[in-house]
Amino acid sequence: MVTIAPYGTWQSPLTAQDVARADGSVQWADLRDGQVWWAESRPEEQGRVALMRTRSDGCTQEVLAAPWNVRNRVHEYGGRPWTLIDTPHGQRLAFTHWVDQRVYLVDPDDPAATPQPISPRPRRPHGHRYADLSASPDGTEVWCVRETQTGDGRTEVTRALVALPVAGSGQPRVLAASHHFMTGPRSSPDGRHVAWLGWDHPAMPWDGTQLCVAAIGAGGEFAAHRVVAGGPAESVCQFRWDDRPDHLLAVTDPQGWWNPHRIALDGTATNLAPCPEEIGGPLWRLGESWFAPLGEGRHAVIRSGRLAVLDERSATITGVESDFPVWFGQLAAEDGVVVGVAAGPDRQAALVRLDLATGSTTVLGSPRQVEVDPAYFSVPQHQIFTAPDGQRVPAYVYPPSNPDYAAPDGDLPPYLVHVHGGPTSQVRGALDHEIAFFTSRGIGVVAVNYGGSSGYGRQFRDRLRGEWGRVDVADCAAVAQALADRGLADPARLAVRGGSAGGFTTAAALTSVETFACGTAMFPVVDLVAFAGGETHDFESRYLEGLVGQLPRDLARYQQRSPSNRTGALVGPILILQGLEDEVCPPEQSRQFAQALRGSGIRHAHLEFAGEQHGFRKAETIRTALEAELSFYGQVLGFRPDGVALLALRS
């Protein structure tokens, strides 16, 4: 029997606790000698990241159990936190530990072994952070990026490429400091050269990076580097050495699309298969991977979010069919086998092993499974909308979906416009339990790839240059209005939600357009002047020069677009969710915004979560935030959601 009930009131078997338990992630996949390694975040363990592997007998093993937390805070988003090293004494695992940010070494095959630190204890907590680890040619050192906090300010940071002796004695040896930002160094197969990526303020890594190469001296020192690819308007997002020691393979975008190139040491570059599609992505975290060589001129690649095989001999790219059509930047390959993080419209992101010869797919690791019938999960519909300036706006529409319910005749559902972060990021059409939490209760969701999103080439990303707070808002509002105009959404019950940069767009939309009835801003930017003036972390401290403009020249633009200066223009209620240890979008921003709303007559709520950084990792936080958000929409949009406590709203 199907129950007739208003949208938003449908009962769902998918609880907020279910979503929280399944909100972990698999990441940093690798394939070594037939063994698959990966890191796995666990919300039920306060967000701890465990290191996992498949053993030779096929069983899964937790290599580093609690309290070890394989994570670091380089750039505050973290970078690749582990590597295997063939040392003179056998294979060892090097990893970074979140609690003290030091690098540790351990024999992964000795269950009785205790990890030992090989980086010195910093004078101040988290004073040194390390990421993107690799081995020196002789296996006696760990090479990596070291980030050093030099003062109390969030932007008082320096970086260097350093070598840590695996013996654990002595101070780190500085290898190079070519740029303000760098990836970890990688030596050539013959041990004669080393390469890394570097870039400087105000560029972000998707704006322009340089691929640097240097000779390695007899004592392991780096000679002066030379740039073989990249520049102010060319972004190299990944590289690795070719089998030939005088060539590199790199993903770069001189023609406006991230494509794989072979690059000689003299800088000669050859595009391996030119195409107007992205085979790469924004380097938010050091160590991401969008391609992996398969041998004999073949490479596994992620093309426009799909797995494919690039064949140099024919200069063709052929898609690979699998049950997991959406692939993320976590690719590794060996002997015709590909591993990576993949998902599908009805499958949550998981670590997948795919044998290209047979087509067989095996799920090796995934967040905790939700025991809910997939019929309750809305299948995303990819649609193209039109922005006010005539540009195409891709989006994924998740209609309300619950086999037990139908709405009364003539009733239209409320819709949430989900705004991704970054803003140089993107959404893909994959199962998202957080979205399903709403759609299974009769609330539609549309996830928008507004102008500035990655995945559609440099020209699409550049739509947001100088236009943050305008193009993103206009695109999201246009998508919402189009759904209402098509009779798919209730025009009086449109809401907007997002985190980080998406939180800014949420607040900017509520203070500049009349499309939305309310919104939820999670760990948002609301004061652009303060953000650019040192409130945020070093990595993004000059990001706004490209997104908004230069200070002090464009101060009026910063002030006009800051939601904190426009609280009087807020068109409807707002819910603000914030972690108290957030160094990217500090709690001072949302706290001051909420204080400005007190006594304004605008209904609002402001929830803070101890122990949370940028994005929520703890199961209890995720559950509380989701239930609060559902209650908020119910009170503002006029329905009584099932099974959640009433959120107290102030005015």
41 residue type, one letter: S
Q: Are 224 and 230 in contact (CB under 8 A)?
A: no
Share of the chain above pLDDT 70, in %: 100
> Per-residue pLDDT for 170 more than 80?
no
Over the stretch 306-317, which tens digit does the pLDDT of each residue have? 999 999 999 999
Over the stretch 592-636, which tens digit does the pLDDT of each residue have? 999 999 989 999 999 999 999 888 989 899 999 999 999 999 999
Report the pLDDT averaged over residues 238-249: 94
CA distance 469 to 27: 31
Q: Look at residues 107, 102, 155, 158 and name the one whose alpha carbon lies nearest to residue 133.
A: 102
| Degrees to nearest 5, angle at CA 368 with 366 and 373 | 105
Q: Given this model, what pLDDT does residue 294 score?
A: 95
In sequence order, the 6+-apart residues with CB closer than 8 A to the CB of 538 are 75, 154, 155, 156, 157
Q: Look at residues 64, 59, 82 and name the one whose alpha carbon lies nearest to residue 72.
A: 82
Over the stretch 499-558, which tens digit does the pLDDT of each residue have? 999 999 999 999 999 999 999 999 999 999 999 988 899 999 999 999 999 999 999 999
Over the stretch 261-307, which tens digit does the pLDDT of each residue have? 999 999 999 999 999 999 999 999 999 999 999 998 999 999 999 99
In sequence order, the 6+-apart residues with CB closer than 8 A to the CB of 210 are 179, 197, 198, 199, 227, 229, 230, 231, 236
Q: Given this model, what pLDDT does residue 535 score?
A: 87
Q: Given this model, what pLDDT does residue 220 score?
A: 93
CA 55 to chain centre: 29
Tokens of 292: 């992996």
> Per-residue pLDDT for 385 more than 90?
yes
How many residues in the chain? Answer: 651
> Per-residue pLDDT for 497 more than 80?
yes
Residues of the chain with CATH 3.40.50.1820: 372-637
Q: Are 579 and 590 in contact (CB under 8 A)?
A: no
Exposure b/e, 175-211, CB count within 10 A at least 16 = b: bbebbebbbbbbbbeeeebbbbbbbeeebbbbbbbbb
Tokens 């140089």 locate to: 424
CA distance 40 to 50: 5
Q: Given this model, what pLDDT does residue 275 score?
A: 94
Q: Given this model, what pLDDT does residue 299 score?
A: 96
Give 565: exposed, middle or buried? Use CB within 10 Å, 0-12, 13-18, 19+. middle
Helical H segments across 99-254, by residue range: none
Mean pLDDT, rounded, of the chain: 95
Tokens of 406: 């139908």
CA distance 386 to 373: 35
pLDDT band at 445 (very low <50, low <70, confident <90, very high): very high
The CATH number given to 372-637 is 3.40.50.1820
